[in-house]
Amino acid sequence: MEVFLPASTKISDCDVEATFVLEINDTDSENGDTVEMPVNAKAPVKVRPMEEQLNYFSSYLRSAKEKFLAKWENPEKTSLASDDTKLNDFSIVKTIGTGSFGRVVLGEHVASGKFYAIKILHKAKIVRLKQVEHTLNEKRILETISFPFIVDMQFHFKDNSNLYMALEFVNGGELFSLIRKEGKFKEDTARFYGSQVILAIEYLHSIDIAYRDLKPENLLIDNSGYLKLTDFGFAKMVRGRTWTLCGTPEYLAPEIILSKGYGRAVDWWAVGVLIFEMIAGYPPFFADQPIQVYEKIVAGKLRFPFFMSLDARNLLSNLLQGDTTKRFGNMRNGVADIQSHIWFSSIDWVDIFERKVVPQFVPSVLDATDTSNFDDYPEEILPQAKSMQYEEEFEDF
């Protein structure tokens, strides 16, 4: 569920003390023993030295940033707008997802025979919910980024009532569905998926983009078993602080809830929540009502299941760190603190990036049009006005 925290919802109203305490909960284990956390854990030397891996990505990200800026600073030259395209150019197969502002459908471009996941957004809903800026940000960001673990937008267009973004169709289903099916992952599996997410976030941060909506529902599994990050509705270029209250309750960093202003470090907190949920089968902070979730996040007490390894606990305690100056990913060494952590010692980051690691799970898909890994949704007739609606608001789409 995506939510916007109303301005009136403040933790100060909930009488919660904003201190962060690490608590290991082993009450589910047979003997109930507490476990000491390893301090300053470092990964052992790999077959491919860590320095070599870090240098590889440093070089790659420098080049990637140059390519991004060339597009970002010249939007008129790099636009993926397709003014001649209309929805009638597609044969709609079925709806594969729904959201607050519209839906995602699988469509076949009749002339080319290519299939796309078409994100359809209702202009009126976007304006009513004051999401024009977020929508334009999403379009512009998707138009200019390129990374192996991020969904690729092919083109976009609009008509009188709706906006359309044609994305590559990733048909292995959501990571969310796989977690629910399996209950929880072995740590090797969580490590495999987590490493891809970390590389995607590292790429986005290298070009000053905060993603701000990491959760299993926004991670798609391709037909090879690798992840693709999707839904950039909350993504934003952030070079300092921002104050927008947006996201999913269980994945919000404490600084968002406390309305302190926040930076890209919120994504590393969310990475911690994701890894925890993959291993445990549930997020570290959950409750029946969002306000109760916020209270738990700000209280900051981590309770680990007994079966979680010491190394995983150590990593997560550093990602789910309330003090942003001590949070992994946001310190002097940046993402290197995460990548060199002992929990990732079996990961060769270059091999992950180059997709050389054999996934433990490969989705069952018949062909490029197989939608069996997605839920069924009721179809609806798209509203279509007789004249162009909200032309000024969406002039840049």
Question: What structural domains and CATH numbers belong to the chain?
Answer: 11-64+174-353 (1.10.510.10), 79-171+365-397 (3.30.200.20)
d(CA 88, CA 110): 9
Are 328 and 198 contacting, i.e. CB atoms less than 8 angstroms apart?
A: no
Mean pLDDT of 214-225: 97
Q: Which two tokens stand for residue 186?
A: 């072995």
What is the mean predicted confidence (pLDDT) over 71-98? Answer: 90
Catalytic residue check, 33: no
With tokens 């608590």, the residue in question is 23
DSSP assigned state of 29: S
- Lowest mean pLDDT across 36-40, 71-75, 162-166, 314-318: 36-40
Kindly state the average pLDDT of the residues 181-194: 98
Cα–Cα distance for residue pair 61/72, rounded to 1 Å: 16
Q: How many whole angstroms from its chain centre is CA 9?
A: 24
* Residue 15: band (very low, low, confident or very high) from pLDDT cuts 50, 70, 90: very low
Considering the chain, what is the average pLDDT of its residues? Answer: 89
Q: What is the pLDDT of residue 173?
A: 96
Q: Which residue pairs from 48-53 have beta carbons closer than 8 angstroms and sit at least 24 positions apart in sequence?
A: 48/348, 48/350, 48/351, 50/336, 50/339, 50/340, 53/339, 53/348, 53/349, 53/350
Question: At residue 127, what are phi and psi to the nearest 5 degrees?
Answer: -65, -45
Amino acid in the structure at residue 149: F
pLDDT grade for 76, boundaries at 50, 70 and 90: confident
Specify the 3-state DSSP secondary structure of 209: strand
What pLDDT, in 10s, does the model give residues 128-162? Answer: 999 999 999 999 999 999 999 999 999 999 999 99
> How far from chain centre, in Å, is Cα 341?
22
Q: Write out the two tokens for 326.
A: 């001590």
pLDDT digits (tens, 9 = 90+) for 280-293: 999 999 999 999 99
In this structure, the number of other CB atoms found within 10 A of the CB of residue 239 comes to 10
Eight-state DSSP code of residue 342: G
Q: Tell me: pLDDT of 247 over 70.
A: yes
State pTM to two decimals.
Answer: 0.88
Set 13, 208, 213, 323: catalytic member: 213
DSSP 144-206: H---TTBPPEEEEEE-SSEEEEEE---TT-BHHHHHHHHSS--HHHHHHHHHHHHHHHHHHHH
Q: What pLDDT band is residue 262 in, cutting at 50, 70 and 90? A: very high
Residues 327-362 pLDDT 10s: 999 999 999 999 999 999 999 999 999 999 999 999
pLDDT at 38 over 50: no
350-356, long-range: CB < 8 A, 24+ apart = 350/48, 350/53, 350/56, 350/57, 351/48, 352/192, 352/195, 352/196, 352/199, 353/57, 353/60, 353/148, 353/199, 355/148, 355/224, 355/226
Ramachandran region of residue 191, left (φ > 0), alpha (ψ -120 to 50) or beta? alpha
Give the model's pLDDT for residue 40.
42
- Is 119 flagged in the annotation as binding? yes
Q: Confidence class of residue 47 from pLDDT cuts 50, 70 and 90?
A: low
Give dist(CA 339, CA 329) in Å, integer. Answer: 9
User: Which is more confident, 232 or 381?
Assistant: 232
